[in-house]
Structures are given as C-alpha cells and as structure tokens.
C-alpha cells in the first residue's frame, strides 16, 4: 500500500505542477487564443484542480487495494458517495464561484472517498487483515 501511495503521489505531484504552470497553454489547445474570458475561466479551474491532484493518489491506492481483495462493495460505495457530493456542492457553490465550484466539489468528493476508504482500511488492518 505504501508503495502504491508513493508512486501515486510522485505521478500526481508531477502532473499537478505541470498543469498548474502550463494551464494557459493547455487551454489554448482547446480554445482559440481570442477567447480570452473562456481561457481565463479554464486556467482558474485547472489551477484549482492542480492543487488537489494529490488526492487521487490516495483514492486510487485504496480503490486498487480493495478491488484486489474483491471488496468491490467498498469501492462502489465510495464512488456512490463521491458523485452526489460533487454535484450538490457544485450546484450550491456555482452562483458564488462559477466553474471553480466544480473543482471544489471534486476535491471535497475525493476527500469523502479517502476518509471512508481510510476508515475501511483501518478496520481491515485491525482485524488482522481478514476479509
């Protein structure tokens, strides 16, 4: 598990730095340079998401761990919780934060997944690794 987290943190960390510092360039891959306001919104979104890109390292490590044990119910429940959290937060915050509300919702959803899966992982370890 530790190796998985370290690999994930390394990859996600590099990705986060790359996205954060090249957000403007990334947006011009998808939009004409004349669409200044759309590019600004996209750059802001990408930079917020980049800050939270380390979270999937934990999510993915837990997901792979439990899938490997055949405990799909844990990964399914975590995903089922994450999606409504994202949608509800984005809906509640979009008026105040615009597209950035989606990034905030994604991050909070990932945090909910991590908290739930970390609890399940702890329970697994405390029960001497029995499934």
Find, among 125, 106, 127, the residue nearest to 62 by Cα. 125
Average pLDDT score over residue span 45-54: 92
Average pLDDT score over residue span 31-49: 92
Buried b (16+ CB within 10 A) or exposed e, 58-74: bbbbbbebbeeeeeeeb
Whether the per-residue pLDDT at 8 is higher than 90: the answer is: no
Q: Where are the domains of the chain?
A: 2-126
Q: What confidence category does residue 130 fall into, taking pLDDT thresholds of 50, 70 and 90? A: low
> Please, are residues 105 and 49 in contact by the beta-carbon 8 Å criterion?
no
pLDDT at 129: 67
């Amino acid at each position: 598990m530790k190796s998985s987290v370290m690999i994930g943190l390394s990859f996600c960390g590099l990705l986060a730095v790359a996205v954060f510092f090249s957000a403007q360039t990334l947006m011009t891959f998808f939009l004409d340079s004349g669409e200044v306001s759309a590019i600004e919104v996209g750059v802001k979104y990408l930079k917020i998401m980049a800050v939270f890109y380390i979270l999937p390292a934990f999510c993915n490590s837990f997901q792979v761990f439990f899938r490997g044990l055949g405990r799909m119910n844990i990964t399914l429940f975590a995903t089922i919780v994450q999606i409504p959290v994202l949608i509800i937060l984005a809906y509640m915050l979009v008026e105040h934060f615009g597209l950035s509300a989606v990034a905030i919702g994604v991050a909070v959803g990932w945090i909910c997944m991590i908290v739930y899966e970390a609890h399940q992982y702890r329970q697994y370890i405390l029960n001497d690794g029995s499934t």
